[in-house]
């Protein structure tokens, strides 16, 4: 009996997370309430606040279950950009990033939306963006060493490239219905990355 009681809070937390995951794929973060999340679980607000500090905390926990592969794919994309740049290689590097957004776009949008209401989330989102820009900047500098992108500001190019990619994925997959196929998104981004990184 004791073992069962120890497991119950974890099971309740998982139930709340699963419910929030489903709801955030169906509606924007701003339209979600604690009552909306808890109603399908059969529990009330008191149980919610035993597990989460608020909706922003809930969104962070939901994303924590799906973000690690995306973070790794983003790092590999930026690091791979410093090597040989071909359309085929760009498709290979962008594929996992786009696949993540295709699978979890509304959740990624919810994280961005939650950052408006929660300072801690905003700080984490900005830090993640800065890490990606730093790695992309290093990739651009290596391309410059290889004779490309002569005379441009590496940080500015990296910022534009990373920001454009993020914005494009948000617009394409951030709503409940995607505006392009996964393959089309990979091809579009691959063309932009290759054109940028191979500029004279």
Tell me the CATH number for domain 2-61. Answer: 1.10.357.10
What does pTM read for this prediction? 0.86
Taking CA atoms, 98 is separated from 160, 174, 178, in Å, by 18, 12, 12
Domain chopping of the chain, boundaries: 2-61, 66-197
Per-residue pLDDT of the chain (200 residues; tens, 9 = 90+): 334 344 477 899 999 999 999 999 999 999 999 999 999 999 999 999 999 999 999 999 999 999 888 888 888 888 888 888 899 999 999 999 999 999 999 999 998 898 888 888 888 888 888 888 888 898 889 889 988 999 999 999 999 999 999 999 999 999 989 999 999 999 999 999 999 999 98
Per CATH, domain 66-197 is 1.20.1250.20? no
Taking CA atoms, 171 is separated from 37, 166, 185, in Å, by 25, 9, 11
Instruction: Establish how many alpha carbons lie within 13 A of residue 29's alpha carbon, considering only the half-sphere containing its beta carbon.
Output: 24
Listed in sequence order, the residues at least 6 apart from 185 whose beta carbon sits closer than 8 Å to its beta carbon are: 98, 101, 102, 168, 169, 172, 173
Please indicate whether the domains covering 2-61 and 66-197 agree at the CATH topology level: yes
DSSP single-letter state for residue 29: G
């Amino acid at each position: 009996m004791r073992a069962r009681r120890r497991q119950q809070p974890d099971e309740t937390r998982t139930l709340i997370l699963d419910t929030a995951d489903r709801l955030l794929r169906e509606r924007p973060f701003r339209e979600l309430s604690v009552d909306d999340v808890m109603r399908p679980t059969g529990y009330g607000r008191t149980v919610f606040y035993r597990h989460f500090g608020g909706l922003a905390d809930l969104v962070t926990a939901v994303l924590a279950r799906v973000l690690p592969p995306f973070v790794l794919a983003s790092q590999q994309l930026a690091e791979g950009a410093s090597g040989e740049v071909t359309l085929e290689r760009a498709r290979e590097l962008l594929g996992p990033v786009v696949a993540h957004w295709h699978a979890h776009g509304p959740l990624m949008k919810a994280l961005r939306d939650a950052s408006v209401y929660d300072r801690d989330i905003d700080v984490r989102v900005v830090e993640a963006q800065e890490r990606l820009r730093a790695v992309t900047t290093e990739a651009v500098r290596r391309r410059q060493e290889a004779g490309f992108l002569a005379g441009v500001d590496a940080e500015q190019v990296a910022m534009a490239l990373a920001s454009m990619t993020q914005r494009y994925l948000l617009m394409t997959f951030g709503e409940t219905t995607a505006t392009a196929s996964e393959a089309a998104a990979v091809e579009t981004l691959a063309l932009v990355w290759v054109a940028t990184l191979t500029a004279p």
